[in-house]
A = this chain, B = another copy of it.
């Protein structure tokens, strides 16, 4: 665990007006980090504004601090803080960027190229871990809402402490949060397990459609347009369903097809190491990474199945 450098701490101590920016479509770690850092700076009598991509996911709107998001934007700040943003272009920022003396980057993404004037980038489970350490180093008291915010960042970015980004420090910080608030069970349930009846039913239909292709470790799941419409039209279960495919014993590649309009599919692909489904996504005009990619598709599903099987066959045993 690196010590938070003095120049970072001095930047907070010696300045007054802060603007907090997050990445587009902010997740639990981005919002949790913003709430904890924003409230912490206010406790040091700083002025804090937030410019954040709204609306938030329902499960994240419970923080009181959310009422101050996007309420005020000045022409100029002492410091603009980029939280949890791997690149500045990925940040959600005003069309006319306010002037600022210092651009400060706090982030945990490996790909972060330290694009700020000041940067603290460390590969931790969550940016919220870094915010916790900054607050402690600044000597700021952490209240229950700030503890909830840091816990939210950690538990969402680590899959409830299950991913390989978890370290000694992740659990050590979590243990410290329990000295501030004795129970995070209700929050965990809100963040990880609650689904609306429509989300639950769509998940069931997606599992019902689960097909293992030609005895290969490839899973295909489809939500057709009629089913999506029946449950309200919002398909906010993509990650969950794709994970269910991947969590099936023996499955290495999952394709989840959502028929957003009749005959028009949004395809989400997931792969386990060492498989790379990035190139199929590129072939169909989409994008993503080696293990998670997506594209729009309106062709013959059998062709897509053949492509998936070919990718598996060609990559199997390569390493």
Q: Interface residues, chain A, CB within 8 Å of chain B?
A: 155, 160-164, 166-172, 174-176, 178-179, 182-186, 188-189, 192-197, 200-201, 203-208, 210, 212, 243-244, 247-250
The closest CB in chain B to the CB of A165 belongs to B185
If A168-B178, A208-B204 touch, does A247 touch B195 (CB 8 Å cutoff)? yes
Q: Could you tell me if A188 and B161 are in contact, using CB atoms closer than 8 angstroms?
A: yes
CB-CB < 8 A to A204: which residues of B? 204-208, 210
CB-CB < 8 A to A179: which residues of B? 168
CB distance from A242 to the nearest CB of B (A): 12
CB-CB < 8 A to A174: which residues of B? 161, 171, 174
Q: Could you tell me if A200 and B248 are in contact, using CB atoms closer than 8 angstroms?
A: yes
If A161-B160, A172-B175, A175-B175 touch, does A203 touch B207 (CB 8 Å cutoff)? yes
CB distance from A124 to the nearest CB of B (A): 13
Q: List 22 A-B contacts (CB under 8 A).
A: A161-B174, A161-B188, A162-B189, A162-B193, A163-B188, A164-B183, A166-B184, A167-B178, A168-B175, A171-B172, A171-B175, A172-B175, A174-B174, A189-B247, A193-B247, A194-B249, A195-B248, A196-B248, A196-B249, A197-B212, A201-B208, A204-B206
Across the A-B interface, the 3 shortest Cβ-Cβ residue pairs: A204-B207, A171-B175, A164-B185
CB distance from A2 to the nearest CB of B (A): 17
CB-CB < 8 A to A250: which residues of B? 197
Q: Could you tell me if B249 and A197 are in contact, using CB atoms closer than 8 angstroms?
A: yes
Copies of this chain per assembly? 2
The closest CB in chain B to the CB of A184 belongs to B166
CB distance from A238 to the nearest CB of B (A): 17
Q: Could you tell me if B207 and A200 are in contact, using CB atoms closer than 8 angstroms?
A: yes
Most B CB within 10 A of own CB, among A170, A175, A183, A247: A175
In the bound assembly, the distance between CA atoms of A175 and B294 in angstroms comes to 36
In the bound assembly, the distance between CA atoms of A176 and B174 in angstroms comes to 13
CB distance from A202 to the nearest CB of B (A): 9
The closest CB in chain B to the CB of A205 belongs to B208
Find A248's partner among B188, B192, B197, B249 (CB 8 Å cutoff): B197
Extra A-B contacts (15), CB below 8 Å, given A161-B174, A163-B185, A170-B175: A162-B185, A162-B188, A162-B192, A162-B193, A164-B183, A166-B185, A168-B175, A171-B174, A194-B247, A195-B248, A195-B249, A200-B247, A200-B248, A204-B204, A204-B205
The closest CB in chain B to the CB of A177 belongs to B171
If A172-B175, A175-B171, A208-B204 touch, does A243 touch B193 (CB 8 Å cutoff)? yes
Q: Could you tell me if A201 and B210 are in contact, using CB atoms closer than 8 angstroms?
A: yes
In the bound assembly, the distance between CA atoms of A203 and B164 in angstroms comes to 27
CB distance from A194 to the nearest CB of B (A): 6
CB distance from A167 to the nearest CB of B (A): 6
CB-CB < 8 A to A160: which residues of B? 160-162
The closest CB in chain B to the CB of A188 belongs to B162
Q: Could you tell me if B183 and A178 are in contact, using CB atoms closer than 8 angstroms?
A: no
CB-CB < 8 A to A208: which residues of B? 201, 204-205, 208
